[in-house]
A and B are shown apart, each in its own frame.
Chain A
Amino acid sequence: MNDVFGIDGNTFARLQFAFTISFHIIFPAFTIGLSAFIATLEVVWLRTGREHYHLLARFWTKVFAVSFAMGVVSGIAMSYQFGTNWSRFSEVAGNVIGPPMGYEVLTAFFLEATFLGVMLFGWNRVPRWLHVTATIVVAVGTCISAFWILSANSWMHTPAGFEMRDGIAYPVDWSQIIFNPSFPYRFAHMLTAAYLTTALVVFAVGARYRVARRFEPEAKVMIRMGLGALLVLAPLQLLIGDLHGLNTAKHQPAKVAAMEAHWDGSKPGDLLLFAVPDMAKEKNHFEISIPRGASFIITHDADGLFPGLKDFAPENRPGVARVFYAFRLMVGIGLLVIAMALLGGWLWWRGRIFDSPWYLKLAGYCWPLGFIAIISGWIVTESGRQPWVVHGVLRTVDASSPVAAGAIATSLLLFVLVYGVVFSIGILFIRKMLGKGPVPVAAAPAADDALANRPLAVAKDAVRGEAPPP
């Protein structure tokens, strides 16, 4: 294969995948959590009849609509990329990974076609209980979508239930394929991350309204529900993350070695707070560490041993720096969120949460934390799997399409341009909506509530009224 500026097609294909998936994951992660939040609001509304829950549900449904649409738009391009850029992967792994992906598409397809229509456009058309049901189905449906796509992804990390014949993977046992060793942990970890991310956004928006003394009852509901979710989920995520790490240590030791930048497996690992890993010299510079801390975390024994990077041939090692730094960023954010939640919980318990503007101002800046942590986490797990695309089965360099580097570079450029435009406009959209806030909807003309599958159309009337962004 030829190259462009000395960069080969495979690298361009990897860059393109990294770019598009990082862009894409923001939206499903947010909509998984948001649909569950809206469903909760609606259930409370149905049971108590309190109007501000209804108002909040309608408000967040509009935000949900834009996010869902952007998730779909970026997701369509993702699914075709498997063929355009990674045709060897599609062929080698298609028999095994194809059906879970197919189920993911069917679930999303089905959701979009039916229940989403009711959820977005059916407010005045169907009875309350049916609307609540539709929202719950959408919330469950996004989880089912996540189930399948994470099952397929996990199989790439811990392949199971298949056999190789003539270089092609064939299914042997579907339950082993779907419930492959890393899947339960990855599923729990990602789902919790999605809920945490949404809780942070809801909490931050509520805090900002409270500081500005706008939408008082709604702001209080958002702060209570957001903080409540954080108090439960943030510590839980630490536990799940730990279990996931143990699972990775068992199945993908090279990844864990890179996460900890641990070179020599014959000695216990130190917990590095900071370091500059050097792959050529097989050591770290400028280490600041807690002795034996890594061994304690990974083996739950300060003297425990776990494989170091030197235990793997150089061609089987992932790029250490990327994995190492992304892991620190993810865990750092996790700890920060736990601290924020505990502090907020204490203020709540003391009855001062709504009257601590310094804390609420701080909370107002917390909204991007979940997104950053999710992207970092995916960099850890995906970069940590390298040089394999399917661990131990197919190398990334052998998985790409026989396409000229120039074509992939061109399409990468186009993706960056188009996503840049669409992404900016979508963000602007959501900003405007959040700025306007949960104001009661005027009696809309009947046609406005038509039962159509057009997520963005719902968002549109939310943007009509002008208000400064929060």
Chain B
Amino acid sequence: MSPELPPLEFTLPIIWALIIGTAVALYVVLDGFDLGVAILFPFFREERERDQMMNSVAPFWDGNETWLVLGGAGLWVAFPKAFAVIMPALYLPIIVMLLALVFRGVAFEFRWVAKPAHRPWDVAFAAGSTVAAFAQGLVLGGLLQGIAVKDGQFAGGTFDFLTPFSLLCAIGLVVGYALLGATWLMMKTDGPLEERVRRLGTPLLVALMACIVAVSVWTPLALPRVAMRWFSLPNFYVLSQVPLLTILLAWSCRRGIRRNKVHQPFLSAVALFVLAYVGLVISNVPYLVPPTITVWEAAAHPSSQLFLLIGTCLLLPMILGYTVFQYWVFRGKVRDGEGYH
């Protein structure tokens, strides 16, 4: 799978790929639910309900978003060659995502100050989150479909990322985040709001499954290397468990929604996301920039990777611990009229 490399040159990129991969997965799941809550804003028109929705994610969004910074910075430090290709290739969606996140971030706080004239900030919150999610989907699709690389540099056009496939991924991610947001609200709210969000749950789940199936059929058909990965023997025996498990989790999510379970829908939706993520990783290992640059080819000098790894190993457990503590402090349902403001 890789050329003959000394042990350090071989293992360090794998460790860094795991760290960055985990940071990105944490970001997708964590910021996914708070973006999703905002994506659902248009379905709830009453101010009181919107207050409740916002309060349910208010203590978390900032911490959730910092994983994006760690992912981006980590990619540059550990894999400068991949960073230098991916960022120019996905230029527009990345810029749009960053700016949309700025809007939704300040909307979080300015909405309360602006009351009763908070309508524009409702729009900024919902639209900013939806645009950010859509742009992230375009980034994902643009990466999965492959980037034109020549002599180690991006060699494509500004709008290369924009294809039917990347649009499918974008819609899929918006739908998926909405599902995460809906199941989060099932867990964190009660009363009429919870009832209505449960009614939204099943259509969102169906739509997400449709997108997952579409991507799973599309990629092996379009990309022979992906087909080889999944359908060659003996890979198939092991990897065929992934779609089976996906179906099982979707079933569990639906059951949880219908039976008014508190945690089951959200946890199943998170597991569904993680599994879809793992599926995409399986399709693309060991490429960081499919289909040309592997983790080893993109890696920074081992001394650079090692230097930052030391600091990361010291600080990351503390940050993780604090994150867990914070979710524990704010556990339980957010009731109507209860919040920070």
Contact = CB atoms under 8 A, between A and B. Distances in A.
Contact of B341 (A80, A103, A459, A460): A460
Given A106-B312, A460-B109, A407 B69 contact: no
A406 interface: yes
Most chain-B Cβ atoms within 10 A of its Cβ — which of A402, A422, A464? A402
A102 B109 CA distance: 29
B138 to A, nearest CB: 14
B340 A450 contact: yes
Interface string B66-96: 1011101110111011011111100110111
Nearest to B101: A76
A102 B311 contact: yes
A98 B80 contact: yes
A422 B109 contact: no
Contact of A453 (B62, B92, B110): B62
Nearest to B100: A418
A447 B110 contact: no
Nearest to B90: A84
Interface stretch (B29-37, B166-174, B264-272, B296-304): B296-304
Nearest to A116: B62
Given A106-B312, A171-B301, A460-B109, A451 B329 contact: yes
B341 A76 contact: no
Given A98-B304, A113-B323, A403-B158, A453 B63 contact: yes
Interface string B9-29: 000000000000000000000
Given A171-B304, A411-B92, A447-B338, A91 B81 contact: yes
Contacts of B81: 91, 94
Nearest to B80: A94
Interface in A58-91: 69, 73, 76-77, 79-80, 82-84, 87-88, 90-91
Given A83-B87, A109-B319, A454-B109, A98 B308 contact: yes
B322 A113 contact: yes
A21 interface: no
User: What's the dominant secondary structure at chain A's contact region?
Assistant: helix
B206 interface: no
B326 interface: yes
Band of interface residues on A: 35 or more
Contacts of B157: 404
B110 A425 contact: yes
A102 B73 CA distance: 6
A69 B77 CA distance: 24
Nearest to A165: B301
B301 A80 contact: no
B210 interface: no
Given A171-B304, A411-B91, A76 B98 contact: yes
A113 B66 contact: yes
A401 interface: yes
Given A82-B76, A83-B87, A460 B112 contact: yes
B103 to A, nearest CB: 7
Contacts of A457: 58, 109, 340-341
Interface in A410-450: 410-411, 414-415, 418, 422, 425, 429, 447-448, 450
A174 interface: yes
B279 interface: no
Contacts of B105: 73
A94 B307 CA distance: 13
A418 B301 contact: no
B58 A452 contact: yes
Contact of B70 (A80, A109, A411): A109
Contacts of A403: 88, 91, 154, 158
B63 A113 contact: yes
Contact of A452 (B59, B74, B76, B99): B59
Interface string B139-157: 0000000000000111101
B84 A406 contact: no
B76 A171 contact: no
A411 B95 contact: yes
A96 interface: yes
Contact of B315 (A76, A91, A109, A454): A109
B340 A452 contact: yes
A87 B312 contact: no
B149 to A, nearest CB: 11
A83 B326 contact: no
A87 B315 CA distance: 28
Contact of B88 (A83, A103, A450): A83
A401 B340 contact: no
B106 interface: yes
Contacts of B221: none
A49 interface: no
Given A79-B72, A95-B304, A411-B95, A114 B322 contact: yes
Given A105-B69, A114-B318, A450-B59, A418 B340 contact: no
Contacts of A414: 95-96, 99
B332 interface: no
A76 B70 CA distance: 10
Nearest to A110: B315
A215 B32 CA distance: 46
Contacts of A218: none
B154 A402 contact: yes
Contacts of B98: 76-77, 80
A406 B158 contact: yes
Given A73-B102, A103-B308, A79 B69 contact: yes
B315 A90 contact: no
A139 interface: no
A114 B101 CA distance: 22
Given A411-B92, A447-B340, A450-B330, 13 more contacts: A76-B98, A83-B76, A83-B83, A83-B86, A84-B87, A94-B81, A110-B315, A112-B63, A113-B318, A401-B88, A410-B92, A414-B99, A463-B113
29 contacts: A76-B68, A76-B98, A76-B102, A79-B76, A80-B94, A83-B83, A87-B154, A91-B81, A94-B77, A95-B80, A95-B300, A95-B303, A95-B304, A98-B304, A101-B76, A102-B73, A105-B70, A105-B73, A114-B318, A174-B303, A174-B307, A401-B84, A450-B340, A451-B326, A454-B59, A454-B62, A457-B340, A457-B341, A460-B113
